[in-house]
Protein backbone atom coordinates (compact mmCIF):
# COMPACT_ATOMS: atom_id res chain seq x y z
CA UNK A 1 0.00 0.00 0.00
CA UNK A 2 2.79 2.41 0.86
CA UNK A 3 4.42 1.87 -2.53
CA UNK A 4 1.14 2.82 -4.25
CA UNK A 5 1.00 6.10 -2.31
CA UNK A 6 4.59 6.85 -3.19
CA UNK A 7 3.83 6.28 -6.88
CA UNK A 8 0.79 8.57 -6.74
CA UNK A 9 2.82 11.28 -4.96
CA UNK A 10 5.57 11.14 -7.56
CA UNK A 11 3.05 11.35 -10.43
CA UNK A 12 1.42 14.45 -8.93
CA UNK A 13 4.83 16.03 -8.34
CA UNK A 14 5.83 15.46 -11.97
CA UNK A 15 2.61 17.03 -13.22
CA UNK A 16 3.09 20.00 -10.91
CA UNK A 17 6.64 20.54 -12.12
CA UNK A 18 5.49 20.34 -15.75
CA UNK A 19 2.88 22.96 -15.00
CA UNK A 20 5.53 25.19 -13.45
CA UNK A 21 7.73 24.78 -16.55
CA UNK A 22 4.82 25.80 -18.84
CA UNK A 23 4.02 28.82 -16.70
CA UNK A 24 7.61 30.01 -16.80
CA UNK A 25 8.07 29.58 -20.63
CA UNK A 26 8.92 32.93 -22.30
CA UNK A 27 6.18 34.40 -24.53
CA UNK A 28 6.54 33.93 -28.27
CA UNK A 29 7.45 37.33 -29.76
CA UNK A 30 4.96 38.83 -32.27
CA UNK A 31 6.21 39.12 -35.83
CA UNK A 32 7.11 42.66 -36.83
CA UNK A 33 4.86 44.03 -39.62
CA UNK A 34 6.71 44.70 -42.87
CA UNK A 35 7.75 48.35 -43.25
CA UNK A 36 5.48 50.54 -45.39
CA UNK A 37 7.32 51.25 -48.66
CA UNK A 38 8.31 54.86 -49.25
CA UNK A 39 6.78 56.25 -52.43
CA UNK A 40 7.78 59.10 -54.73
CA UNK A 41 5.13 61.10 -56.62
CA UNK A 42 5.35 63.17 -59.80
CA UNK A 43 2.83 65.50 -61.46
CA UNK A 44 3.13 65.51 -65.25
CA UNK A 45 1.42 68.51 -66.88
CA UNK A 46 0.92 69.04 -70.61
CA UNK A 47 0.08 72.40 -72.23
CA UNK A 48 -1.25 72.50 -75.80
CA UNK A 49 0.65 75.24 -77.69
CA UNK A 50 -1.15 74.90 -81.05
CA UNK A 51 -3.85 77.06 -82.60
CA UNK A 52 -6.29 74.38 -83.77
CA UNK A 53 -4.81 70.97 -83.01
CA UNK A 54 -6.45 69.21 -80.05
CA UNK A 55 -4.12 66.73 -78.39
CA UNK A 56 -5.41 63.21 -77.76
CA UNK A 57 -5.52 61.93 -74.15
CA UNK A 58 -1.91 61.86 -73.03
CA UNK A 59 -0.02 58.69 -72.22
CA UNK A 60 2.39 59.02 -69.28
CA UNK A 61 4.93 56.26 -68.62
CA UNK A 62 7.42 55.94 -65.77
CA UNK A 63 10.22 53.53 -66.63
CA UNK A 64 13.84 52.53 -66.38
CA UNK A 65 16.46 52.95 -69.09
CA UNK A 66 15.80 50.44 -71.86
CA UNK A 67 12.24 51.43 -72.82
CA UNK A 68 11.42 53.99 -75.54
CA UNK A 69 8.11 55.25 -76.93
CA UNK A 70 9.76 55.74 -80.31
CA UNK A 71 13.12 55.92 -82.05
CA UNK A 72 13.63 58.38 -84.90
CA UNK A 73 14.37 56.43 -88.07
CA UNK A 74 12.77 53.22 -86.80
CA UNK A 75 9.30 51.94 -87.63
CA UNK A 76 6.59 52.87 -85.14
CA UNK A 77 5.24 50.11 -82.94
CA UNK A 78 1.63 49.11 -83.48
CA UNK A 79 0.72 50.84 -80.22
CA UNK A 80 2.34 54.09 -81.36
CA UNK A 81 0.68 53.74 -84.78
CA UNK A 82 -2.73 53.31 -83.12
CA UNK A 83 -2.25 56.47 -81.05
CA UNK A 84 -0.68 58.53 -83.85
CA UNK A 85 -3.45 57.68 -86.35
CA UNK A 86 -6.51 57.50 -84.11
CA UNK A 87 -5.65 59.19 -80.82
CA UNK A 88 -6.29 56.06 -78.75
CA UNK A 89 -3.43 55.37 -76.32
CA UNK A 90 -4.78 52.02 -75.07
CA UNK A 91 -2.48 49.83 -77.17
CA UNK A 92 0.54 52.05 -76.51
CA UNK A 93 0.03 51.79 -72.75
CA UNK A 94 -0.52 48.02 -73.04
CA UNK A 95 2.79 47.70 -74.89
CA UNK A 96 4.47 49.72 -72.17
CA UNK A 97 2.94 47.67 -69.36
CA UNK A 98 4.26 44.53 -71.02
CA UNK A 99 7.84 45.83 -70.92
CA UNK A 100 9.86 44.78 -67.87
CA UNK A 101 11.53 48.21 -67.78
CA UNK A 102 8.20 50.00 -67.24
CA UNK A 103 7.22 50.76 -63.63
CA UNK A 104 3.94 52.66 -64.03
CA UNK A 105 1.68 54.08 -66.74
CA UNK A 106 -1.32 56.38 -66.78
CA UNK A 107 -3.66 58.08 -69.22
CA UNK A 108 -5.13 61.54 -69.37
CA UNK A 109 -8.87 61.74 -69.03
CA UNK A 110 -9.76 63.64 -72.20
CA UNK A 111 -8.34 65.45 -75.24
CA UNK A 112 -6.53 68.72 -74.53
CA UNK A 113 -7.81 71.60 -76.65
CA UNK A 114 -5.69 74.46 -77.97
CA UNK A 115 -4.35 76.53 -75.06
CA UNK A 116 -5.63 73.84 -72.69
CA UNK A 117 -3.69 71.74 -70.22
CA UNK A 118 -3.98 68.61 -68.09
CA UNK A 119 -2.02 67.09 -65.21
CA UNK A 120 -1.54 63.36 -64.63
CA UNK A 121 0.08 62.05 -61.45
CA UNK A 122 2.19 58.92 -61.17
CA UNK A 123 3.81 57.20 -58.18
CA UNK A 124 6.82 54.88 -57.95
CA UNK A 125 8.87 53.34 -55.18
CA UNK A 126 11.47 55.71 -53.77
CA UNK A 127 14.04 53.00 -54.40
CA UNK A 128 13.33 53.23 -58.16
CA UNK A 129 13.85 56.99 -58.46
CA UNK A 130 17.61 56.64 -58.93
CA UNK A 131 16.96 55.10 -62.36
CA UNK A 132 13.63 56.72 -63.25
CA UNK A 133 12.72 58.12 -66.68
CA UNK A 134 9.37 59.65 -67.67
CA UNK A 135 7.89 59.56 -71.18
CA UNK A 136 4.77 61.32 -72.52
CA UNK A 137 2.98 60.88 -75.86
CA UNK A 138 -0.07 62.33 -77.62
CA UNK A 139 -1.55 62.75 -81.13
CA UNK A 140 -2.27 65.99 -82.94
CA UNK A 141 -5.76 64.85 -83.92
CA UNK A 142 -6.37 67.14 -86.92
CA UNK A 143 -3.64 65.31 -88.84
CA UNK A 144 -3.12 61.89 -90.38
CA UNK A 145 -0.45 60.57 -88.02
CA UNK A 146 1.33 63.43 -86.31
CA UNK A 147 2.26 63.01 -82.66
CA UNK A 148 4.37 64.71 -80.04
CA UNK A 149 6.29 62.96 -77.33
CA UNK A 150 8.75 63.37 -74.51
CA UNK A 151 11.04 60.37 -74.66
CA UNK A 152 12.76 59.12 -71.51
CA UNK A 153 13.31 62.31 -69.52
CA UNK A 154 15.80 61.53 -66.74
CA UNK A 155 14.20 62.61 -63.42
CA UNK A 156 16.52 60.66 -61.13
CA UNK A 157 18.11 63.77 -59.61
CA UNK A 158 14.85 65.55 -58.81
CA UNK A 159 14.22 66.40 -55.16
CA UNK A 160 10.79 67.08 -53.69
CA UNK A 161 9.69 70.49 -54.96
CA UNK A 162 11.85 70.40 -58.11
CA UNK A 163 10.30 71.07 -61.54
CA UNK A 164 11.51 70.32 -65.07
CA UNK A 165 9.95 72.03 -68.11
CA UNK A 166 10.54 71.17 -71.76
CA UNK A 167 8.88 72.19 -75.04
CA UNK A 168 8.39 69.52 -77.68
CA UNK A 169 8.06 69.22 -81.44
CA UNK A 170 5.78 67.19 -83.71
CA UNK A 171 6.80 63.88 -85.25
CA UNK A 172 5.37 61.90 -88.16
CA UNK A 173 4.71 58.25 -87.27
CA UNK A 174 5.35 57.28 -90.89
CA UNK A 175 2.40 54.88 -90.92
CA UNK A 176 -0.19 56.85 -92.92
CA UNK A 177 0.19 59.08 -95.95
CA UNK A 178 -0.44 62.74 -95.16
CA UNK A 179 -3.51 63.12 -97.35
CA UNK A 180 -5.06 65.80 -95.11
CA UNK A 181 -8.40 64.37 -96.27
CA UNK A 182 -11.33 64.49 -93.84
CA UNK A 183 -11.94 60.76 -94.22
CA UNK A 184 -8.45 60.04 -92.89
CA UNK A 185 -8.44 62.52 -90.01
CA UNK A 186 -10.08 61.53 -86.69
CA UNK A 187 -10.20 65.03 -85.17
CA UNK A 188 -12.99 67.60 -85.41
CA UNK A 189 -11.60 68.96 -88.68
CA UNK A 190 -12.27 65.61 -90.33
CA UNK A 191 -14.23 63.14 -88.22
CA UNK A 192 -12.92 60.33 -90.38
CA UNK A 193 -11.13 57.03 -89.88
CA UNK A 194 -8.59 56.74 -87.11
CA UNK A 195 -6.31 53.71 -86.85
CA UNK A 196 -5.91 51.48 -89.90
CA UNK A 197 -3.55 48.51 -89.68
CA UNK A 198 -2.45 48.97 -93.30
CA UNK A 199 0.57 51.25 -93.49
CA UNK A 200 0.09 53.61 -96.42
CA UNK A 201 3.21 55.74 -95.84
CA UNK A 202 6.04 54.23 -97.86
CA UNK A 203 8.60 55.58 -95.41
CA UNK A 204 7.29 53.44 -92.51
CA UNK A 205 9.62 55.14 -90.04
CA UNK A 206 9.35 57.91 -87.48
CA UNK A 207 10.62 61.30 -88.69
CA UNK A 208 10.22 64.97 -87.84
CA UNK A 209 6.84 66.18 -89.12
CA UNK A 210 6.96 68.55 -92.09
CA UNK A 211 3.77 70.30 -90.98
CA UNK A 212 0.31 70.73 -92.44
CA UNK A 213 0.12 72.19 -95.97
CA UNK A 214 -3.66 72.92 -96.10
CA UNK A 215 -5.97 73.95 -98.92
CA UNK A 216 -5.02 77.59 -98.29
CA UNK A 217 -1.48 76.87 -99.43
CA UNK A 218 -2.39 75.07 -102.64
CA UNK A 219 -3.05 71.48 -101.47
CA UNK A 220 -6.29 71.20 -103.46
CA UNK A 221 -7.53 67.93 -101.94
CA UNK A 222 -6.75 68.94 -98.35
CA UNK A 223 -9.68 69.44 -95.99
CA UNK A 224 -7.50 71.38 -93.57
CA UNK A 225 -7.13 75.16 -93.55
CA UNK A 226 -4.36 77.51 -92.52
CA UNK A 227 -5.68 77.48 -88.94
CA UNK A 228 -4.68 73.79 -88.63
CA UNK A 229 -1.04 74.50 -89.40
CA UNK A 230 1.37 74.30 -86.51
CA UNK A 231 4.83 75.52 -85.70
CA UNK A 232 7.20 73.85 -83.28
CA UNK A 233 7.01 73.57 -80.35
CA UNK A 234 3.50 72.07 -80.21
CA UNK A 235 3.32 71.19 -76.52
CA UNK A 236 4.97 71.96 -73.21
CA UNK A 237 5.56 69.33 -70.53
CA UNK A 238 6.21 70.19 -66.89
CA UNK A 239 7.27 67.51 -64.41
CA UNK A 240 7.07 68.35 -60.73
CA UNK A 241 8.18 66.04 -57.95
CA UNK A 242 5.58 66.37 -55.20
CA UNK A 243 6.69 63.64 -52.78
Domains of the chain: 39-241 (2.60.40.2130)
Q: Residues of the chain with pLDDT > 90: what percent?
A: 82
**184 secondary structure, DSSP code:** G
Averaged pLDDT for residues 14-35: 63
Count Cα neighbours of 40 within 13 Å in the Cβ-side half-sphere.
Answer: 24
Cα–Cα distance between 48 and 235 in angstroms, integer?
Answer: 5
pTM reported for the whole predicted model: 0.85
**Torsion over CA of 206, 210, 211 and 214, rounded to 10 degrees?**
-120
pLDDT digits (tens, 9 = 90+) for 197-212: 999 998 999 999 999 9
Phi, psi of 218 (to 5 degrees): 95, 0
Cα–Cα distance between 146 and 54 in angstroms, integer?
Answer: 12
Cα–Cα distance between 79 and 75 in angstroms, integer?
Answer: 11
**How confident is residue 13, by pLDDT bands cut at 50, 70 and 90?**
very low
pLDDT digits (tens, 9 = 90+) for 164-175: 999 999 999 999
Q: Are the beta carbons of 190 and 182 closer than 8 angstroms?
A: yes
Amino acid sequence: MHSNYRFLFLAVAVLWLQGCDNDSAPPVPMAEPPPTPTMASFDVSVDNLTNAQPLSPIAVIGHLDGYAVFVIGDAATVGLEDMAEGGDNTALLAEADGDTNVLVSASGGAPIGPAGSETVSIEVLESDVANLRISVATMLVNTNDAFSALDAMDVSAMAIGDTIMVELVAYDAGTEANTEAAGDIPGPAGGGEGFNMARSDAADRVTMHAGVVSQDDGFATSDLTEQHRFDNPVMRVRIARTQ
